[in-house]
Chains A and B, each alone.
Chain A
Amino acid sequence: MSLQEKYKQLIDAATTSGMNVREQDNVLYINGEATNGATKDNLWNIYGQIDPDFRGSDVVMDVNVNDTMAGSKVKVNTDKSNLNIRKGPGTDQPIVGKAAKDEMITLISKTNDQWWLVRTDAGEEGYAYAEYLNS
């Protein structure tokens, strides 16, 4: 079965959401900017229905959720632990502060897709892993 057939539902949903979809060397690449987290979750749910264990090695889906702006407040979305705030963008960087789960902190700038520069209301400033920050 071709990738186009196997992932038809995912391709249709991604295209409808304005994603860029293309196939190269038997891998389906889906990428683009989503206006909200629900769009990304929906695409991952469809992908998970087609390949529940994600074993196919035939999809790379990089959807960037763009619903947070520099200067706005973001919510700490860890499972239960505190979120580390680091001196630089990387887990090899020293921890300079912590933010509690569900705490609202200020997004100063998006350094890259993985690391954002943030400040807590207590004045601790540094880099936090973007996956744990929501609008």
Chain B
Amino acid sequence: MTDRFAIGSLHGETPSCRLPVGDGAAIIILALFIIFVISIPKFDLAGALAFAAIPLLLFTATPVPLAPVLKRLVIVSPFILFMAVGNLFLDRSTALTVAGIAITGGTISATVIVLKTLLTLSTLLWLMACLPFHRFGMALRSLRVPEVFVTQLLLVYRYSFLLAEEAAMMQKARDLRSFDGRGKGVVVTAKLIGSLLIRTTARAERIYMAMSARGFRTALDSRPAGALKANDFAIIALAGTLFGLIRYLF
């Protein structure tokens, strides 16, 4: 579980992964990219392939390690593969013939679905690997996301690691005491989760007292959120034009 978060610890503010735009603008550009990719028509393989240029550029130009990103993309979602295979079987009309081999419409639309998934998710994971989560939180504040929600995200992220460790210990302790799978049923598990929950709320109280002692009221960061700069708007417009061009040309 803790290693599922490893991508968050990849960021490191190495000079070569420094973003050329403000963090808030980077999030907007990512959203633009995703909207353009998703708007590619169902059978437009060339269009989807052309957009792969963006994540390819990002991954080759920056030292973000590929392995953890690829691992997540491989295990991504049995659901998406199921839907793609569905298209493969349901749409058997021949769409084009290449060197005598008939390629069905389903093959093309299934490939486009998988390709779109890989494009949007790899770009998202790239940004998360480049952007430390506290900076992501600040960027959300600059985009006017409600303070309550930003604080919530930062707290969930912070405590996931700690509670994951605690849960892993409990699970290991139970497994060590279990013979022939006994004690691994729903009843014991429910009690285990219940006691984890009670420990969690007790921990929340301790955390709150410690945080109050350090001046916490309702927000984790009292600095005012910086708004987007003119430079950011220019780069957002540039990126939008670039995506539009790719979409138009292919």
Q: Do A and B interact?
A: no
User: Which residues on B are within 8 Å of A, measured CB to CB?
Assistant: none
User: Which residues on A are within 8 Å of B, measured CB to CB?
Assistant: none
